[in-house]
Structure 1
Amino acid sequence: MSERFGHAEVGITLNTYSHVLPNMQKRLADNFENSIQIENSSIDKKGKIL
């Protein structure tokens, strides 16, 4: 990303955009949890895919 933005150092990119990361991490965790729940709801108690 640093290269695409034209930043000479990675630190510049991190200092500029790191405030975005907590929201992105929460969204990622929520999406991961949802995908696990969907997958688990597609499998019966014996492990057979419904």
Structure 2
Amino acid sequence: MAGIGISCGGPLSGKRELVLSPPKLPGWDNIPIVQMAENWFKRRVLMQNDANAST
């Protein structure tokens, strides 16, 4: 079964799996996006900062 990867501009907390407050996403303050995606898609989800994910 395939998983899902999320790439997002920071700041992020990979350890806590939160989108903290990216300037390009107003209102996204401490959003548990990994948990939300895992609940929605029933798959394992990993998240990285967009600059790190591109390498």
Greater RCO structure (CA 8 Å; 6+ sep): 2
Larger radius of gyration: 1
TM-score for both structures, normalised by structure 2 = 0.26
Instruction: Judging by fraction of residues, say which structure has more helix.
Output: 1
Whichever structure has more strand as a proportion of its residues is 2
Q: TM-score, normalised by structure 1?
A: 0.28
